[in-house]
């Protein structure tokens, strides 16, 4: 599967006019892909298990609903720096929590479009050197099996139907009917995205969505439910959000999000730089 900047640049040069190739490759972003560690591979993150919480920090809860499940921890210092955003923390740990329905059999759900549910997902940042201890899982929750993950820097591409991607390929910001896409662009899309269907676990870069650009889901939520999807402010707001992490369905960790879906945490770069991880927002998609 194509994963390097050079391989994507070569595909663009092969299938696209030079100006379109330059516009599209300018959209590429580095990312860190996470996969199950084997043998002596270094661990950069873990799914499930029990988190190390700073002394005096309560287990995250959704008020009036209950405790959130611990999903993953990410060791920032163990991530390759050439795969993350320049302002991503160089050390410390990110802890990801999500209300997964264990407490209420799925009666309450977290929806990006509903601000009243946003408390059902949390990101905690634990600075390096913080005195921490393994936290006991609250009553009513079963911890997910621990799975250690190793990290590698990769190159990520925008979703093929992302407005910015289509505009780069066609040099046209107008909405494009899929039936009107020129044949050489269809060939290019097939070359890039065929065999690139695995969502996987990832930090930074372009999200790999299940059902369309996740940045626009968050942007629409921030602008309000009455905002039209044709509102030009939507594109502007969507560009203000970066993927923080995506956690895919994982059989080893016994994690299934909807129908084999994926959890996506996004954050604005200024909040990432200031370590305001409480400002991160979650959306999720499934088949």
**Whole-Å CA distances, 224 to 169, 173, 175, 211:** 30, 23, 22, 20
Average pLDDT over residues 138-151: 97
User: With b meaning 16 or more CB within 10 Å and e meaning fewer, what string describes 121-153?
Assistant: bbbbbbeeeeeeeebebbeebeebeebbbbbeb
Under the banding of pLDDT at 50, 70 and 90, the label for residue 268 is very high
Burial of 22 (C-beta count, 10 Å sphere; 0-12/13-18/19+) = middle
**Whole-Å CA distances, 53 to 45, 74, 157, 195:** 15, 13, 34, 39
Q: Residue 173: what pLDDT?
A: 60
Average pLDDT over residues 220-241: 92
Q: Residue 52: what pLDDT?
A: 97
Structure-block tokens of residue 259: 């129908």
Structure-block tokens of residue 233: 């402010």
Q: Residue 212: what pLDDT?
A: 87
Q: Residue 108: what pLDDT?
A: 92
- Per-residue pLDDT at 175 exceeds 60: no
**How many Å is the maximal CA-CA distance in the chain?**
60
Q: Residue 171: what pLDDT?
A: 81
Average pLDDT over residues 174-187: 72
């Amino acid at each position: 599967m194509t994963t390097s900047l050079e391989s994507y640049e070569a595909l663009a040069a092969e299938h696209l006019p030079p100006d379109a190739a330059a516009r599209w490759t300018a959209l590429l972003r580095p990312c860190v892909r996470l996969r199950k560690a084997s043998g002596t591979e270094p661990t950069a993150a873990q799914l499930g298990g029990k988190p190390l919480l700073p002394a005096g920090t309560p287990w995250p809860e959704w008020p009036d609903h209950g405790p959130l499940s611990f999903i993953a921890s990410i060791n920032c210092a163990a991530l390759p720096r050439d795969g993350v955003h320049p302002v991503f923390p160089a050390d410390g740990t990110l802890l990801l929590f999500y209300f997964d329905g264990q407490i209420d059999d799925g009666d309450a759900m977290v929806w990006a479009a509903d601000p009243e549910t946003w408390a059902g997902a949390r990101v905690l940042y634990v600075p390096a050197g913080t005195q921490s201890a393994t936290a006991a899982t609250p009553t009513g929750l079963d911890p997910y099996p621990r799975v250690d993950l190793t990290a590698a820097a990769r190159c990520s591409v925008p979703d093929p139907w992302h407005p910015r991607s289509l505009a780069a390929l066609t040099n046209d910001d107008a909405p494009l009917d899929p039936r009107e896409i020129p044949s050489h662009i269809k060939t290019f899309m097939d070359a890039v995205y065929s065999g690139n269907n695995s969502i996987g676990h990832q930090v930074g870069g372009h999200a790999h969505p299940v059902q369309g650009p996740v940045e626009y889901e968050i942007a629409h939520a921030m602008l309000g439910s009455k905002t039209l999807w044709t509102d030009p402010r939507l594109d502007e707001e969507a560009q203000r959000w970066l993927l923080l992490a995506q956690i895919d369905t994982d059989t080893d960790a016994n994690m299934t999000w909807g129908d084999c879906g994926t959890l996506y945490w996004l954050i604005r770069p200024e909040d990432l730089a200031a370590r305001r991880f409480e400002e991160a927002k979650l959306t999720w998609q499934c088949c």
